[in-house]
Amino acid sequence: SQQGEEDPQALSIQEGENATMNCSYKTSINNLQWYRQNSGRGLVHLILIRSNEREKHSGRLRVTLDTSKKSSSLLITASRAADTASYFCATDGYTDKLIFGTGTRLQVFP
Amino acid sequence: KAGVTQTPRYLIKTRGQQVTLSCSPISGHRSVSWYQQTPGQGLQFLFEYFSETQRNKGNFPGRFSGRQFSNSRSEMNVSTLELGDSALYLCASSRTSGTMETQYFGPGTRLLVL
């Protein structure tokens, strides 16, 4: 069973707009990670946020973590067509293995 | 540095056959994890190998097995294939074991079982 669920399942926006994706998870975690997957290929690691962190930035990405609500959000600012991909959150659920969420499919139109 | 490579990229098998997939991690990485991705179940963890030992295992039947060699290359084997085994199989490597490590994924092997 999956630990995380992303919301929305799919998101379509215009280039230049911001995209926000949310992830909810079930159990306590040590860290939460976000990955991107282009069209059925391998995943690319975007960012890792530890359970004692509340916010983290990397370029146009901003991730927040609210452990009291067991949720995280990924914000992509000034989106580009190249950002079109599926985005997954992954948590460790206090174990040694990553458990991936269901993913959000992001479509950015030029 | 070369990335994670997986062979073959595509594979077609029939029910009842067995298959072996290969994964070469990034040079210097000692941990290799395997995932199965299907439209219905999403990304599911199969197992992780570190220094030739299986460290973690997901909830898959014994038909799914793996191993790791001394050069960190890993193989996974699926015996007695079923239609439901059709999936994208992804491997990921990291420097060491543990979920605090960034995992680097290969492009995957797409398996179709007829």
Residue with tokens 């997957």: A37
Nearest to A100 among B42, B48, B107 (CB): B42
Q: What integer is the mean pLDDT of B83-105?
A: 90
Residue A2 has pLDDT above 60, yes or no: no
The pLDDT score that the predictor gives to residue A6 is: 85
Strand partners, B43: B37
Residue B100 has pLDDT above 80, yes or no: no
Closest CA–CA distance from residue B15 to any residue of chain A (Å): 23
Q: What integer is the mean pLDDT of A44-48?
A: 94
The tally of CA atoms less than 13 A away on the side-chain side of residue B2 is 7
Q: Which residue has the higher pLDDT, B1 or A32?
A: A32
**CB neighbour list of residue A68: distance below 8 Å, 6 or more residues apart:** none
**Across all residues in chain A, what is the average pLDDT?**
91
Q: What integer is the mean pLDDT of A74-99?
A: 89
The pLDDT score that the predictor gives to residue B20 is: 98
Q: Is the separation of the CB atoms in B58 and A97 below 8 Å?
A: yes
Q: What integer is the mean pLDDT of A10-17?
A: 96
Residue B53 has pLDDT above 90, yes or no: yes
Nearest to A31 among B99, B105, B108 (CB): B99
Q: Is the separation of the CB atoms in A33 and A47 below 8 Å?
A: yes
Percent share of chain B, pLDDT over 70: 99
Residue A93 has pLDDT above 90, yes or no: no
List the one residue out of B110, B112, B93 whose CA is nearest residue B15.
B112
Residue A78 has pLDDT above 90, yes or no: yes
Closest CA–CA distance from residue A17 to any residue of chain B (Å): 28
Q: Which residue has the higher pLDDT, A92 or A93?
A: A92
Q: Name the range with the highest mean pLDDT among A5-14, A55-64, B91-100.
A: A55-64
Q: Which residue has the higher pLDDT, B52 or A30?
A: B52
Radius of gyration of chain A (CA): 13
Residue with tokens 């991730």: A63
The answer to whether the Cβ–Cβ distance between A31 and B33 falls below 8 Å is no
**Across all residues in chain B, what is the average pLDDT?**
94
Residue A1 has pLDDT above 50, yes or no: no
List the one residue out of B52, B50, B51, B8 whose CA is nearest residue B33.
B50
Closest CA–CA distance from residue A68 to any residue of chain B (Å): 21
Q: Is the separation of the CB atoms in A102 and A35 below 8 Å?
A: no
Q: What integer is the mean pLDDT of A45-57?
A: 95
